[in-house]
Amino acid sequence: MKPLFPTRYHLSGAALAVLLTVSPLAQAEISRGAVMASTCFACHGTDGKSTGAIPSIYGIPADSLIATMKAFREDLRAATVMNRHAKGYTDEEIVHIANYLSNIK
Ligand code: HEC
């Protein structure tokens, strides 16, 4: 059986460039975001660039993505899967994911 959420640890060129130029602490934060965001890419496409019916999620301003994820988590926004998926993340994790995804060009 295929895993439900195949994880791909894929870093975009832009993210890699950022990783190489920031402090070690910031690096750890960014790579945490990168690892967690990789779980999104199974459905939303590599780097959040969707090729199908599911919306792309890269380059969205972090504030907006954070608000959307919290709305899904609190069942304030209609969803088929995102409401359940969003419940698996803390506020802090959502911030890391949003910061990572917002920087993908
Ligand atoms: C199992 C597949 C799946 C996974 C994994 C997944 N999503 Fe989604 N996502 C969807 C679907 C489907 C929608 C459309 C809303 C719905 O039906 O739930 C969506 C909608 C969204 C939207 C709204 C986009 C818009 O323009 O309306 C955002 C933001 C989002 N997802 C972020 C994420 C993030 C961040 C992750 C990883 C932490 C993630 N998703 C993981 C399937 C998924």
Structural domain range at position 46: 13-102
Residue with CA at minimum distance from ligand 1 atom 41: 40
What pLDDT was estimated at residue 3? 57
pLDDT tens readout for residues 6-28 = 555 555 665 655 555 667 777 77
* Neighbour-count burial of 45, counting CB atoms closer than 10 A to its CB (0-12 exposed, 13-18 middle, 19+ buried): middle
Label residue 101 left, alpha or beta by phi (over 0 means left) and psi (-120 to 50 means alpha).
Answer: alpha
Tokens at 29, concatenated: 């934060």
Classify residue 7: in a domain, yes or no: no
pLDDT tens readout for residues 39-77 = 999 999 999 999 999 999 999 999 999 999 999 999 999
The CATH number for 96's domain is 1.10.760.10
Binding site membership of 95 for ligand 1 (Cβ less than 6 Å): no
Expressed in angstroms and rounded, the spacing between residue 44 Cα and the centre of ligand 1 is 7
CA dihedral 86, 92, 95, 97 (to 10 degrees): -60
Residue with CA at minimum distance from ligand 1 atom 10: 82
Tokens at 19, concatenated: 């990783």
Tokens at 68, concatenated: 């959307």
What pLDDT was estimated at residue 60? 97
Binding site membership of 80 for ligand 1 (Cβ less than 6 Å): yes
CA dihedral 39, 42, 45, 48 (to 10 degrees): -20
Classify residue 68: in a domain, yes or no: yes
Binding site membership of 96 for ligand 1 (Cβ less than 6 Å): no
